[in-house]
Structure 1
């Protein structure tokens, strides 16, 4: 039977447990009444997606072609199966550096494009240094297809 509530009340000797529960109940009723009054003005208002949510959704659905990336960056992302900004922002710097022929210059380009849109890459691990990554190559200036199988 779940129609029962058991409460263990400890009070100061100057107050009876019954009075303490009654006082607490009265306070709760007053507070819930105030909260209910705050909601009266909002009745009848239908909440829909905000303009900000719609703009963010549009930006996330934007194809990477519209970012005007260099050919190297664009080809690397496409080859990795990244087709939208939403898919791009779900990757960290470490994830992107795992892509063959994608170096720190490409990372900097991507980060700059995302910052201009008010976005960023998924957080990289604390203390991550791209120059120490196994695929880092400071001379990555041009797209190199020669390494592909």
Structure 2
């Protein structure tokens, strides 16, 4: 099998938080491009690490619906502005940053006191406006993780006076790929895979492609030396084991997954307490999402979700 070649066709920085890269991967045998394209795209969007602000403690504030005297924005707006700040870092443990500004003036990300090894992508990102000589003071916690984390609104469990923030760790904003067939001769058809990658500036498209390829290589490399001589462990209670499986294993769409999480459905055990009709009663959970859940349960675990609760049927 010939070695793949990757070529960067275009690389540009439109804005500090908008980096773009266009790549060509060749040569690929027929149908290989779609396989590699799908695997790389999912890895780029879901498995690369990023750093984000996950919680904040604002002086004189007890809950997210408060207002701060002398500050134009309310607390909820400030938390949303903190959520949008893009950071470049690789930290293993949560870190604390701070800011203390006396007005009047505009508070931007460039005024943040960041821990060692953490950098701002765009220091001009807006946080708040102080209208008088009030002092604006807050602490915030940073974490490195993957994906998007929706938190329970209210006080952070790790610190009694920190307010939680929904966190987007994904450095890649968008990925497109296309395939072009190249006929070398009558008997050999090859394909070229074209990739377009947009990042938030915390990582370059070139590094994003490299990290995604490295993750996939390590993943598949772990399958090379499987030893099938070991007996498969048998569990005493298959029903209990299935019930402990996380809903992430169903590989649902983002919409369906988020709706289940907001309804406090974290495992198959939680999910099996619902019927099809009860799923439809979940906020923003339509028939398409319900059918997706039913099909995933049946396909992956052979479980049929009831359309009605048995107690309702027998009454």
TM-score tier by shorter-chain length is 0.3 to 0.5
Structure with greater strand share of residues:
2
When normalised by structure 2's length, the TM-score is 0.23
Q: Which one has the largest radius of gyration?
A: 1
**Is the helix fraction higher in 1 or 2?**
1
